[in-house]
Amino acid sequence: MAKYKTDIQDISFNLFKDLKIQERSGDFGENDLKDIVVQFDKFAENEVYSCRVEGDEVGVKLTEDKGVVVPPSFISATKKYHENGWFALGYPEEIGGMPAPSPIHFACQSIYVGANVALSMYSGLSQGAMNVILKVGSQEQKDQFVPPMMEGRWGGTMCLTEPGAGSDVGAAKTTATPNDDGTYNIKGVKIFISSGESDIYENNIHLVLARTPGSEEGTKGLSLFIVPRYKINDDGTSGDSNFVKCTKIEEKMGIHGSATCELTFGGDGDCKGWLIGKEHEGIVNMFIMMNDARLLCAVQGESQANLAYELTLQYAKERSQFKQEIIHHPDVKRMLLKMRAMSRGMRSLILYTSNLFDLEHGGDEMAAKEVALLTPVCKGYCTDEAFQVAVDAIQVHGGYGYCSEYGIEQFARDIKIATIYEGTNGIQAMDFVMRKILKDQGETFKALGAKIQKTLTHPQTGNWKNECASLATSMQKGQMILEQYGKHAAAKEFNNILASSTDFLAYCGNLIVAWRLLSGAIIAKEELDGGNSADKDYLESKIVDFKVFCQHYLSRNTGIAQSILNFDQNLTELEL
């Protein structure tokens, strides 16, 4: 079986050569930041990747006496994750955190998630819930819930989906009835709750969307509540049951080590919750966590694609067929080059987006808008394309890939869910086109386009005339598509937009990733021209990535543009 490997060199290239985060990292020097990533990678190899297969094979179990039980190695790994301070990475010191630039946090998250996505979801959901409490919770709520979550004693979840409602969050029927003491009685059922319950934590802190008496229908009538699994004693310890019960765990295609739960609130007694934020602002506050989760989905795709590529590359170098290693077979090499170009391209997109968080925190309003624009692209594009990378990994492994011996087919099973939860990729595409582009008349999209155009004027682009011409044409055709969308919107022909929004998100993903790889190729060429011979092979590979991506992925935009611009998109008139 291939050995675990992370491409630290490519991560460092993105962080320090492309994004130059060391220039905005305060007390952290470049070597300090590199060491964080290297040390975390060692932790991931020894403690996280080592229980990936066990999590898949053993899975989780719902028991009468203990509730949801996870593989024992998951408990140990999560405990060490907190003890070694990795959960605290990126948080301020005043809450026990270890401050670090956002791209460093995302780079480590990518390593963590790629090594064992099912395990990472427990702490990932906890961070998401804690982030909501930090942002909109009262000081009392922060004091009560944040310390034990930081310490790893308590976990967290978000509870939106209900039976029959699915992605239609506004159809939720869970109720929150106020009590005289300021608490609310929560009653209802939530389904598909990731990390909904486990024996990893002493207590689970659920963020639950519910409807108070007299609230209007739809999302505007929803409020958000903090609902612990166990009641909290006066001394801050966990007490008796709060009547939050896991009544079912889902049997799934993948992420077997992650407990996907049906939770019943108040089925056997009064379940107490506390309002967080203002009444009827539940969906707005929950979206703090939803946006975190959507970027985490993108990382789930990107990270597993990169690890699947690394493992597949090793296999292809060792597996002999027809008297030579299969890496020398043209079709296998084609697949490997495509896998590397796409995986590295997704990594560049994720780290670029994470860097915008720091710019946003520094007061850059356009960076905040760009994060909003790129979030659905990251989520939709990276998860769709990562699944295909996993399929190619299986193909390179042949029959061994289809079998479980090498652990490769697990990537495809584990990645697929990321295209579905936290808003399906179809919903991401609708959000991208309708809310992130058309709503502001394309202002942010055009600003991003200006960045791409500026890169295309760099003197080094003359080395790749065909590729850069293809990128420029994609820019032009993209503008034509937006103009057509604008006409449909003015005529209120929204179905003509929505029918092709998924195609347009893929189009923009191809365009933006090609740009990110072009940026990397320019830097690599400058390094080579400057005499950097020590990294010659790697730097040349960055140029190859850009060329391969343009040939095999950016070229798809020609067909997508023709489909959107030249064919009728009013699917409502077509019969099935």
Residue-wise pLDDT for 82-135, tens only, equals 999 999 999 999 999 999 999 999 999 999 999 999 999 999 999 999 999 999
How far apart are the C-alpha atoms of 233 and 566, rounded to whole Å? 65
- Which one has a higher pLDDT value, 289 or 565? 565
Q: Model confidence at 167, in pLDDT bands (50, 70, 90)?
A: low
pLDDT of residue 86: 97
Give residue 2's pLDDT: 80
Separation between Cα atoms, residue 243 and residue 231, nearest integer Å: 9
- Give the pLDDT band of residue 513 (cuts 50, 70, 90): very high
pLDDT of residue 166: 61
**3-class DSSP assignment, residue 206:** strand
- The domains found in the chain, sorted by start residue, are 8-136 (1.10.540.10), 155-283 (2.40.110.20), 433-570 (1.20.140)
In the DSSP assignment, the letter for residue 267 is S
Q: Is the CB of residue 394 less than 8 Å from the CB of residue 401? A: yes
Percent of the chain whose predicted confidence (pLDDT) is above 90: 89
Strand runs (DSSP E) across 237-315, as ranges? 238-241, 244-249, 260-265, 272-275
Q: Residue 524 corresponds to which amino acid?
A: A
- Judged against a pLDDT cut of 70, whether residue 474 lies above it is answered with yes
Q: What is the 3-state secondary structure (H, E, C) of 14-40?
A: HHHHHCCHHHHCCCCCHHHHHHHHHHH
Q: Per the residue annotation, which of 422, 467, 483, 573 is the catalytic one?
A: 422
CA 30 to chain centre: 26
Per-residue pLDDT of 22-32, as tens digits, reads 998 878 899 99
pLDDT at residue 422, rounded to an integer: 86
Q: What is the mean pLDDT of residues 351-363?
A: 93
Per the annotation, the verdict on 422 as an active-site residue is yes
Measured in whole angstroms, how far is the alpha carbon of residue 141 from the centre of its chain?
27
Find the mean pLDDT for residues 442-452.
96
pTM above 0.85, yes or no: yes
Q: How far is CA 337 from CA 7, 236, 407, in A?
A: 15, 54, 21
Question: What is the C-alpha separation between 79 and 73, in angstroms, rounded?
Answer: 10
pLDDT (tens digit per residue) in 428-441: 999 999 999 999 89
User: How much is the mean pLDDT over the chain?
Assistant: 95
